[in-house]
Structure 1
Amino acid sequence: MIRDDIKAAQIAAMKAGDKESRATISLIQSAIKNRDIEARTTGPIEDDDAHVIEVLQKMVKQRRESIEMYEKGGRAELAEAEAAEVAVIERFLPAQMDEEETKAAIEQIKADTGATGMKDMGKVMAELKARHGTQLDMSKASALVKGALS
Structure 2
Amino acid sequence: MTTENSGSIFPLGNMGPSEWFSGEVHIQGLVAPDQMENLYNVGQVTFSPGARTHWHTHPIGQVLLVTEGKGWYQERGKPAQVLSRGTTVVIPKDVEHWHGASAAHKMVHIAISNVQNGSTVNWLTPVTDREYAEVGQ
TM-score normalised to structure 1 length: 0.23
Whose helix fraction is larger, Structure 1's or Structure 2's? 1
Structure with the bigger RCO (C-alpha within 8 Å, sep 6+) is 2
